[in-house]
């Protein structure tokens, strides 16, 4: 959270059966007190989120499902909750999960696609969805974040041959990639989330195996 007193958590299956919340929602988890659903997000099965400041206020971008038509896509909601706005939904999204948004409002969304080797990362700008990375085996859930001058996108991934966990560095200007495997490469088939802190240049990656660990990533 912007005030540092808690977390926003994308929970796909929270809630009691038979209630609107049974389709998941964004939970606000305070450092003290009881987690609650962020107003407006119940039933949207969110997979990933990013908190950004736009127009003087904090906004949450999240991937999930539109309960009105069942379409998957990218949405946004005020950090205090309220009306959910559709940023983009439907094709070419198949199974969107993680998202990061740059200071210009361009979002980058990882998508698991239809299976192994079919993962993609899309940019979403002005409602237009464009692939920037294709043919990947992404972490599950994948993670995406931006570093430096926002010209480099980091993507949680798995090497197609060795099955070792890795973080891909994608140069958005050239499309060239390089893989970081130090420490992470000892883990197999367990690449997980990758996220940046809201107000600090701190990156964290997790191994989602049963005995998984968290790692701090230094770009």
| pLDDT on residue 2 | 79
Q: pTM for the full model?
A: 0.89
Cα separation, 108 vs 101, in Å, equals 6
| pLDDT on residue 18 | 52
CB 23 within 8 A of CB 46: no
First vs last C-alpha separation in the chain: 23
CB 183 within 8 A of CB 200: no
Q: Token pair for residue 118?
A: 């079919």
Tens digits of pLDDT across the chain (219 residues): 877 888 999 988 765 555 555 678 999 999 888 888 899 998 899 999 999 999 889 999 999 999 999 999 999 999 999 999 999 999 999 999 999 999 999 999 999 988 777 889 999 999 999 999 998 888 877 889 998 788 999 998 888 888 888 888 999 999 999 887 777 777 777 777 788 887 777 888 887 877 777 878 766
Cα separation, 40 vs 164, in Å, equals 39
Q: 196, 195, 1: which is closest to 79 by C-alpha?
A: 1
Say which residue the tokens 């999240």 belong to.
62
| pLDDT on residue 164 | 85
Q: 98, 42, 52, 57: which is closest to 74 by C-alpha?
A: 98
| pLDDT on residue 86 | 97
CB 143 within 8 A of CB 128: no
Cα separation, 109 vs 202, in Å, equals 20
| pLDDT on residue 21 | 52
Cα separation, 183 vs 171, in Å, equals 22
CB 184 within 8 A of CB 166: yes
Where do runs of H (alpha helix) occur along 40-133? none
| pLDDT on residue 60 | 97
Give the E-state strand segments of the chain in sequence order: 6-11, 25-30, 36-37, 48-54, 57-65, 72-78, 85-89, 96-101, 107-111, 119-125, 128-136, 144-147, 152-158, 165-171, 177-180, 191-196, 203-207, 214-217
Cα separation, 137 vs 189, in Å, equals 10
């Amino acid at each position: 959270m912007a005030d540092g007193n808690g977390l926003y958590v994308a929970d796909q299956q929270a809630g009691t059966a038979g209630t609107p919340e049974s389709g998941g929602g964004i939970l606000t988890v305070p450092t003290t007190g009881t987690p609650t659903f962020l107003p407006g997000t119940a039933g949207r099965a969110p997979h990933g989120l990013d908190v950004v400041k736009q127009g003087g206020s904090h906004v949450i971008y999240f991937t999930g499902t539109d309960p009105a038509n069942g379409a998957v896509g990218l949405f946004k909601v005020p950090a205090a909750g309220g009306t959910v706005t559709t940023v983009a939904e439907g094709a070419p999204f198949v199974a969107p999960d993680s998202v990061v948004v740059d200071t210009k409002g361009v979002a980058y969304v990882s998508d698991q696609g239809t299976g192994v080797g079919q993962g993609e990362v899309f940019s979403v700008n002005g409602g237009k969805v464009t692939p920037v990375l294709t043919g990947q085996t992404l972490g599950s859930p994948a993670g995406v974040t931006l570093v430096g001058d926002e010209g480099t996108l980091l993507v949680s991934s798995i090497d197609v041959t060795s099955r070792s966990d890795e973080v891909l560095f994608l140069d958005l200007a050239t499309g060239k990639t390089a893989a970081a495997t130090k420490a992470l490469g000892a883990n197999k088939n367990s690449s997980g989330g990758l996220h940046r802190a809201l107000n600090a240049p701190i990156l964290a990656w997790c191994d989602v195996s049963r005995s998984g660990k968290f790692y701090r990533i230094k770009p």
